[in-house]
Amino acid sequence: MSTPTPKPVTSGATIPLDVGHAPTAGAPIRQSNLWKDAWYRYRRNRAALFAGAVFIGMVAFCLIYPVISPHDPYDVNFADARQGPSLEHPLGTDTFGRDVLTRTALGGRISIGIGFAATFIILVIGVTYGSISGFIGGHLDNGMMRFLDALYGLPYLPFAIITLAIIGDAGFWAMAVALSIATWFTTARIVRGQIITLKENDYVRAAKTLGARWQRVLMRHLIPNTLGILIIAVFLELPGVILGEAFLSFIGLGIGPPDASWGSMAQEGYEVYRVFPLLIIVPSVAIATLILCANFIADGLRDALDPRTRET
């Protein structure tokens, strides 16, 4: 009632009285601003920043340490078995006399590696399924979502076990596939939700009515906004997958000797936990730390990338 008839706003000149919100609210931010903006916001969350640093630190450690370590992780030496932490072996030795620190790093490569591999597969399946469902919409979408509801009924671990059995061996990619098969549903849902929201975004609709080709719409609007969601999804799925791998290896279905994953190390540690608990504590703490970091990172990313709280 009190705002004047809109005239094209030339920056600076006359600004109407009730300046409550910036102009063009709701328009997606130009790409360069999006990432810089998000990074700035992420940095402000100290917990997320710390978690990110720790996470990167752990990954780097697992990649580098086995190369520079003075100990051979496969070197069996019963004389040195089950020693506590010392200068030579910062985390002690295991039942076979192998240096725990080095084996942890090595195990980390496998556990984290499988984690990322499985997450990657989850993303591929989830994005495909979700995009098709969301983009096409209508009955197909309905049907696909109902189907997804049905799939939710598949129990995670049992199906992972069955899948492993089908594939036969329990190598790296076998585990990755087994761990992703029964858990990609949430990602598919998220992606579909995002696609639908973006499809119905007024700005996108306006662009389409102005005649923008759908490829352009896809590139400039849908993809940048979805990428954010995907990155978050990675860190949301990672903990579950890593735990899954740990569980499978723990019950003996996963990675076997002489290779190590944190899960199999935990299993070895379990056998002697009554007398030497360190061996089960180390890999478990490693797993827990990684999971905690992933959680904090996911939270931080979500706050940083959430369009609702973005200031224009």
Partner 1 sequence: MAETILTVRDLSTHFFTREGVVHAVDGVSFEVEKGKTLGIVGESGCGKTVTALSIMGLIPKPPAKIVEGEILFRGRDIANLSERELEDVRGEQIAMIFQDPMTSLNPTLTIETQIVETIRRHSELSKEAARKRALELLEEVHIPNAAKRLEDYPHRLSGGMRQRVMIAIAISCEPELLIADEPTTALDVTVQAQVLDLLDELRETHGTAMILITHDMGVVAEASDDVVVMYAGQVVEQAAVTEIFDNPEHPYTEALLGALPQLEGEGVRQRRLTAIPGRPPDLVDPPQTCRFAPRCKYAGGDSCTSRMPELREIRPGHFVRSEHPASERARTGEAIHA
Partner 2 sequence: MTGFVIRRLLWTIPVILLVIFFTFVLMRQIEGNPFRTSERAVPESIQRNLERRFGLDQPWYVQYAKYVQGVFTFDLGPSLVLRNRDVNEIVRTHFPPSLQLGAFAMIFALVFGIPLGMLSALRANTFLDYSAMFVSNVGFAIPSFLISTLLIYFFALKWGDWTGLPTSGWDSWQSKILPTIALGLGPMAYFARLVRGTMLETLQQDYIRTARAKGLRWRRVVIVHTLRNSLIPVVTAAGPILGFLITGSFIVEQIFAIPGIGTYYVDAVEARDYSVVMGLTVLLSVIVILANMVVDILYGYLDPRTRDARS
- Nearer of residues 49 and 218 to partner 2, judged by Cβ: 49
Distance, in Å, from the CA atom of 288 to the CA atom of 268, rounded to the nearest integer, reads 18
Distance, in Å, from the CA atom of 259 to the CA atom of 278, rounded to the nearest integer, reads 19
Is position 270 an interface residue for partner 2 (rule: CB under 8 A)?
Answer: yes
What's the min distance (Å) between Cβ of 209 and partner 2?
Answer: 29
Q: Which does 17 bind (CB under 5 to 8 A by kind): partner 2, partner 1, none?
A: partner 1
Which residue from 283, 298, 299, 294 is spatially nearest to 62, judged by alpha carbons?
283
Query: In sequence order, what are the beta bridge partners of 99?
Result: 93
Which residue from 119, 120, 108, 116 is spatially nearest to 59, judged by alpha carbons?
108
Site for partner 1 in 1-40 (CB under 8 A): 1-2, 4-5, 13-20
Q: Which does 266 bind (CB under 5 to 8 A by kind): partner 2, partner 1, none?
A: partner 2
Q: Which amino acid belongs to residue 14?
A: T
Is position 157 an interface residue for partner 2 (rule: CB under 8 A)?
Answer: yes
Structure tokens at 81: 């078995």
Site for partner 2 in 241-260 (CB under 8 A): 243, 246-247, 250-253
Query: In sequence order, what are the beta bridge partners of 93?
Result: 99
Phi/psi for 172 (5° steps) reads -55, -60
Which residue from 124, 103, 53 is spatially nearest to 283, judged by alpha carbons?
103
SS3 156: helix
E-strand spans in the chain?
none
Q: Which span sits near partner 2 by CB under 8 A: 87-95, 161-169, 200-208, 227-235?
A: 161-169
Q: Which does 289 bind (CB under 5 to 8 A by kind): partner 1, partner 2, none?
A: partner 2
Q: Which does 20 bind (CB under 5 to 8 A by kind): partner 2, partner 1, none?
A: partner 1
Phi/psi for 189 (5° steps) reads -60, -50
Is position 59 an interface residue for partner 2 (rule: CB under 8 A)?
Answer: no
What's the min distance (Å) between Cβ of 43 and partner 1?
Answer: 16
Structure tokens at 224: 């940048």
SS3 90: coil
Is position 210 an interface residue for partner 1 (rule: CB under 8 A)?
Answer: no
Which residue from 297, 166, 148, 189 is spatially nearest to 234, judged by alpha carbons?
297
Contact 246, 262 (CB under 8 A): yes
What's the min distance (Å) between Cβ of 251 and partner 2?
Answer: 6
Q: Which does 150 bind (CB under 5 to 8 A by kind): partner 2, partner 1, none?
A: partner 2
- Nearer of residues 15 and 60 to partner 1, judged by Cβ: 15
Is position 76 an interface residue for partner 2 (rule: CB under 8 A)?
Answer: no
Contact 252, 103 (CB under 8 A): no
What's the min distance (Å) between Cβ of 233 and partner 1?
Answer: 29
Number of residues in contact with partner 1, rule: CB under 8 A?
12
Binding residues (CB under 8 A) for partner 2: these are: 147, 149-159, 161-163, 165-166, 168, 239, 243, 246-247, 250-253, 266, 270, 273-274, 277, 280-281, 284-285, 287-289, 291-292, 295
Tell me which residues touch partner 1 (CB under 8 A): 1-2, 4-5, 13-20
